Every structure is written in C-alpha cells, then in structure tokens.
Structure 1
Amino acid sequence: MPQRIWIFGGGDLEAWALEELVRDDRLVGADRGAWFLVSNGYRPELSIGDFDSVTAEEAALIRENSASYADCDAVDKDKTDLELALDWAIAERPAEIVVVGATGTRFDHTLANVQLLRKASEAGIPCRIVDARNEIRLARGGERTLVRKGPYHYVSLLPLAGEVRGITLTGFRYPLNDATLPVGSTLGVSNELLGESGVVESASGDLLVISSRLDRPSADARP
C-alpha cells in the first residue's frame, strides 16, 4: 500500500479514528491529537503544537512516547497546530494525507481546517478530512475526481470559494452537465451515487466533495 501520513488533530476523536490504520501508516499528533495517539498505545512519528490543550503530565508523556517532539510557543506563532503538522506532512511527500480530529465544537477551527485542503492540493498531494460521519475532499478545476461510495449515503458538492464552472457528474442520481455552482447555492447538496463510484469533473474552481453517512458502525465493525 502507498505510504500515508495520518494527522490527528485536537477535535472530536474516538475509536473510529483508528479503524483504518495499517502498519505502514505514519502518524502525526497535533496538540491534543498527540495525546489521543499516545493514550491509545501509538507512538507518533511527530508530535507538534503548543500543547495548551493537555496537562503538563500529559505533555511529558507525549514527549516521552513520540519519536520527535516539537513544542511551539502558544502566542508567538502564525499557524494553528494542525497547519504546522500539515506543513510537515506535505514536505514528506506521502502518497496521501488523512486528517482526523479536524472537526469539533470550534466551528472556526473546523472551517479553517477544511480550507487547508487547498494547501495539500496545491502541493499535488491527495488529502482528505475524516470524522465520525463525513469524508471531505477537494476537487480542483481541470481535474477528474473519482468518488467511491464506501459506507457513505450522500455526496454533497459545495464551492470552497468563488464560483465553480463546468461541473459534470457521472454516476450520480442527480447528474449535472457543464453546470455552474456559485457560493451560496444548495444545488449540490445531498446527491447520491447510483453504483459503487462516480466521477466529478469541473473546468475551474475548487469544489468540496463531502461524503456523509447516516450512522456509525459498532466499535468492532470496519467501514
């Protein structure tokens, strides 16, 4: 399997976040995401952040149980902990970056993390954000994006910023052909795949592809 880097942020994390991991995956913990890994018996390749969301005892255990530890000043920095982790991951040039713990109660952080998908895309690295019920990716203009059904029920398409033009959908219940989606339109919400996969194409603009499930499997089930 091509090498992946998983970034664990400080948002909502439970057992589901560990289900897809395989032996060769490389693990990065951002702030409290590092504590989640360490407390579940994993050794992050890198733990990075200001660690203002953990106790001093937890921070010491993170340092002790991480291959590399980067402690940043909580005030004198211009990036969130998760962006710092993403920058490191991009520099490593993996086949894919998967981000968990990027969504949660802080909507500002959630929105900022979704916007970080553009940074990975501009570097030419596939990146997706996964939480308990959603998978979020970015489809860029001029590209052909394959969307697999997997455990998800709906696929929504939303412009990241500005207008997305020339959208053509293949394999969807509600097809589009050379359509335009402006910011603020709900036309792309709650589409469905007819089979196991579909294709999203667009001529210009950045389009969020959000796959959503209605529920989560049991703790022992795999997606």
Structure 2
Amino acid sequence: MNGKRIIIVTGGTLGDWALGIIQENDVLVGSDRGALYLIQHGYKPHISLGDFDSVTAEELDLIRSSSSSFIECDPIHKDLTDTEMAFNWALAEQPDQIILLGALGTRFDHSLANVHLLRKGTELGIACSIIDANNQIIVMNQTTRIERGSYSHISLLPLSLEVTGITLHGFAYPLHQATLEISQSLGISNILKEPEGLIELQSGLLLVIQSKD
C-alpha cells in the first residue's frame, strides 16, 4: 500500500455533502455522469471512464477535455457496470483506501451491486466504503474499530451466509460470540455509546452500515 486515497464519483445520488469528503491529495475517478459532477464543481478527474450514456454529446466533450485520462466503452458490448470498471481500476492502483460517492440512488439493483463491490476491496486488505448524505457502508472480515462520528445508528448484516463469533464492545446492545445468518435482522439499529466501538468476528463477511437518521 502507498498511502493513496481514491475517490470514485459515480452517477447515483450526489449533492453538496459529497464535496466535503474530497481532500486535496485524493485521486479522483469520474464514472459516467459522476465525472461531469466533478468537473462542474471545479475538479479535474485523474481519469474518467464508462459508456457515458447518461450525458449529452456536449457534456461528453467537456468530460473528455477536462479529464487527465479518459476511457470510453461501448454501452452494448460491455459486461461490467461503469462503477465496477472504475472500482477495478482503483483496485489495480493498490491504494490504502477507496471511497465511493454517488453509488446509491433510485436504481436499487445498481446500489446493491455497488455494495457488493466493497467485498473485493475487503478481501484485498483495502479499506473501502460507500458514503452518501446519511450513510457510511463498509464490509469487514476481521476485528475492526468503528468511530461514531456524526452517525446515530449502526447496523450489522451478514454479507456471507453466516458470520460467526461476533462480539461487540462499546455498543448499547451487546453481542457475545454471536452468529448472524442471512435473513436475520438482529443486528439492525444498534447504537455506539462511546466515540469508538470494537466489532470482533471469527469468520464471514459483515456489512456495517452507519446512519444519521
């Protein structure tokens, strides 16, 4: 790892909240309409990629001329979503962290597929997250410390068939050596009592969702 942080901005729901997450030394990746969002807010994407089927010809020209690197693919003859293309590019850079913005929206199929992308990074030891106006989402496969920050609730859902050995420290509703299986809602809407909590687990993939409302 090289200390690099990559921000992928893709074409889901975006707003001014996203601008507050971007830091000076971030590598910015624009995926489809997410590239236009970056450019319209004064940022130059390190790379813009996708099929760009959600922008006009004029907007596409702007994206092409305003990006350091540009990759366009055929919208019909491609097997990956634009976001997965961007995510795979980011993984190849071997950063310390990848943050997805605009990865949630009105298309639940795309939102869920983007959540599943986090598994790839987790298995490679890269800290990956999806952030929107109200949520921060990660996938964990080992003991992890979680900061409360501005989030009021935290939910734990199994992403594998089961997650075993879950023990919580610093939470309002504790678990000790618990097992969560797909379809169980036991881990929904917990609360961190302290500024930081600890989630221990023995096996499996755990989806951790922090929410503000």
TM-score of the aligned structures, taking structure 1 as reference length? 0.93
1:48-197 aligned within 5 A:
48-140=49-141, 143-197=142-196
Deviation at 1:124, TM superposition (A): 1.5
| Local SS of the residue matching 2:8 | strand
Match of 1:217 in 2: none
1:12 partnered with 2:13: yes
Tell me, which stretches of 5 or more residues in structure 2 are unaligned? none
Aligned to 2:197: 198
* Cα displacement string for residues 144-175 of structure 1 (whole angstroms, at most 9, x for unaligned residues): 11110001000000011311111111110101
User: In structure 2, what is the Cα distance between the partners aligned to 1:56 and 1:122?
Assistant: 38
Q: What is aligned with 2:210?
A: 211
Q: How many angstroms apart in 2 are the aligned matches of 1:14 and 1:61? A: 20
Matched-pair identity in %: 53
TM superposition shift of 1:91: 0.7
SS in 2 for 1:61: helix
Q: Equivalents in 2 of 1:20, 1:33: separation in Å?
A: 15
Large movers: runs of 4+ above 6 Å:
none
1:139 CA displacement: 1.1
Q: Is the 8 A contact 1:139 1:200 kept in 2?
A: no
SS of the aligned residue for 1:6 comes to strand
Q: Secondary structure in 2 aligned to 1:173?
A: coil
What amino acid is the match of 1:86? F
1:195 shift after superposition:
0.7
Aligned residues: 212
Indicate yes or no: 2:41 matched with 1:31. Answer: no
Offset at 1:2?
3.6
For 1:152 and 1:45, the matched residues in 2 are separated by: 31
Instruction: Work out the CA distance in 2 between the residues paired with 1:195 and 1:47.
Output: 40
Aligned mates of 1:111, 1:20 — CA distance in 2: 22
TM-score of the pair, normalised by structure 2: 0.98
Judge conservation of contact 1:128–1:137 (CA < 8 Å) in 2.
yes
Q: CA deviation at 1:22?
A: 1.4
Deviations 1:14-34 (A, max 9, x none): 110010221101100000000
Unaligned runs of 5+ in 1: 215-223
CA contact (8 A) 1:162 1:183 kept: yes
